Amino acid sequence: MERWDIDRYRRPALVPCELSAGIEGLTIGVGDDAVDLSFEGVGRDEVAEVVTQLMRPSSDVWMRLNEGACPAWVRTLTVQLDALSLIEETDSGIDSVRSDAQHAMALCRDVAKRLAAVVGRRPGMYREVLGVVHQMLANDAPNRDTTPGAFPFSGKESGPFAGNFALQSLHFQVAYARQNAPELLFAWQHMLGEVFREAGWHPAAAIPDDAPLQRLHSAASLDSLDLEMYLLSFAHFVEIAPLRVGRRMTSADTERLRQPCSGLALAARAERLLLSALDRLGSNAYASAALASREVTPLVKGLYVEQYHVTDRFVEILGPLLSRRLKRNLRARLFQYFQEEYGHEAFELATCVALGMNEAEVRASVPLPLTALYIDAYTVLAHRLPTAFFTSIMVTEGLRDQHSPVHEHIAALVESALHAGDIVAKHGETNDELNHPSLSRLFLADVAHVSAAEQRYSLEAALFMLEVNMRQLESVAFFYGDQTRLQFHGLWEGRRPLEI
């Protein structure tokens, strides 16, 4: 971390103080404290004049100081005063907040306009979906994440929306926002309000029009790229919710599980469930397109862009677990996992750069909706139920003794084209060397007892994450597959949003 420098202030000023002549110099009185100042070769009156000017943020002294036009002793004086915590930032940041809030509102309006156009074409299809989503945002029941019951939108009580992948995805993103970015709830409410206004109807318990506008100023604290990502993600899942693509592709009969089991028994059951689901799902659009590639296309590049976004946030998923008071062996393994995963985004970013992408543009690109969901869902599972996290992590770390011909083919393509395969292969080799495909079993070996309810939720979570993983790859194929020249995801600056 760099050292603090006084030049980082935007509009500094010395705190109001009283000046008095000392025996050899000048005394500054601040409340009950006093600071004696003296500079060799500098008159007391000259020091007093500078100190007086430093109390005014608009003083020419600050301007000349920033330009490097002040005598050395003036800079030394301000540095010493700053070290005594007597310099304050007088810019409250309100102009920046207002600007960011206006930007947030513009983003909300832009995405809402796109979503409203979709809803307007088939209002009858979306009316019930929008009501469910509105209720999801309005529901602020306490203890909603403490003891999970049934997996969201999975039981008969969910009616026609049981097994709806899009609504399950929104459930996890809303749960993530409540824990980590409550400002997003106001942004989503505002966006949904815009859609309702365009549609000409509102749910019975609609949020007052002025509430989101007032609270939306809090969205100024969010990074603008994150806000754009979550607005686009929210709109995407709302859009697909009533469509066939919005329904689950996988399911499992977990109701038959009525007895507790060990953690290792749960791991084995999850492995069998996921392998069976993979067989039923078969190949996906990305795998087919990637295996047919004979050169590095935007499809190949797009995979590394999205993998960069996943790895850039991946260690976040461990945060809720690292703060839990778990047994020492389990905590030690979790901290080891964090250390082993930290910094892996460098592998993906290096590959992107080797493939000719601009590093700054990659960092500033907006992840696809399912890329964002991938991390959000894992983070919620880690917070909500550790056994669900331990069970489902095998989806991202790989099932034991299973290999991906797709990733091997792509690594060979990159190596052949740019001799950058050593970078591409490094991440996979690192995971293999660290035995990450064994992580689920290693974690669950330290879980002696798993209740029947925890088993059901954990297996549903693992199956959901498998589908998230599959759909995320398919979204890469859908977004990047038809590109002849790489174009990043987003709304502005030459990017394009994901269209259904």
Going residue by residue through the chain, which has 500 residues, state the pLDDT in tens, using 9 for 90 and above.
899 989 999 999 999 988 887 666 788 888 778 888 877 888 888 888 999 999 999 999 999 998 889 999 999 999 999 998 999 999 998 888 888 888 898 999 999 999 999 999 999 999 999 999 999 998 865 445 556 778 999 877 778 898 999 999 999 999 999 999 999 999 999 999 999 998 888 876 555 555 555 677 777 789 999 999 999 999 999 999 999 999 999 998 888 999 999 999 999 999 999 999 999 998 888 888 888 888 899 999 999 999 999 999 999 999 999 999 999 999 999 999 999 999 989 989 999 999 999 999 999 999 999 999 999 999 999 999 999 999 999 999 987 666 677 777 888 888 777 765 555 555 555 556 778 889 999 999 999 999 999 999 999 999 999 999 999 999 999 999 999 999 999 998 778 888 76
Residues 103, 30 share a domain:
no
208 domain residue, yes or no: yes
Residue 478 to residue 499: CA distance in whole angstroms: 9
Q: Are residues 216 and 283 in the same domain?
A: no
Would 254 be classed as within a structural domain?
Answer: no
User: Within this chain, do residues 220 and 143 fall inside the same structural domain, yes or no?
Assistant: yes
Q: Do 191 and 159 sit in the same domain of this protein?
A: yes
Instruction: Give yes or no: residues 142 and 285 share one domain.
Output: no
Show the domain range for 121: 94-246
Counting DSSP H helices and E strands in the chain, the numbers are 22, 5
Residue 41 is assigned to a structural domain of this protein: yes
Rounded to 5°, angle at Cα 175 from 268 and 183:
150
Task: Answer yes or no: do 436 and 366 share one domain.
Answer: yes
Q: What 3-state class would DSSP assign to 39? A: coil
Q: Looking at 199, 216, 246, which one is the last position of a domain?
A: 246
- Mapped onto helix, strand or coil, the DSSP state of residue 247 is strand
Both tokens of residue 171?
A: 């459930």
Q: How many CA atoms lie within 13 A of 324 on its CB side?
A: 20
Query: How remote is the C-alpha of 238 from its chain's centroid?
Result: 19
* Whether residue 271 is found in the same domain as residue 227: no
H or E element: which one contains 14?
Answer: strand 12-14
Could you tell me if 237 and 166 are in contact, meaning their C-beta atoms sit under 8 angstroms apart?
yes
| Residue where one domain finishes, among candidates 89, 111, 146 | 89
Looking at the structure, tell me whether residues 347 and 475 fall in a common domain.
yes
Q: What is the pTM of this model?
A: 0.89
The CA dihedral of 178, 222, 117, 192, to the nearest 10 degrees, is: 40
Same domain, 228 and 182: yes
The verdict on residue 488 lying in a domain is no
Question: How far apart are alpha carbons 137 and 159 in whole angstroms?
Answer: 19
Same domain? For 355 and 430 the reply is: yes
Note whether 486 and 357 are within 8 A (CB): yes
494 found inside a domain: no
Span between the terminal Cα atoms of the chain, in Å: 44
CA distances from 197 to 154, 187, 234 (A): 31, 15, 18
In a domain, 485, yes or no: no
Are residues 297 and 353 both part of a single domain?
yes
**Residue 491 counted as domain residue:** no
Q: What is the per-residue pLDDT for 147?
A: 60
Number of domains in the chain: 3
Residues 183 and 206 in one domain: yes
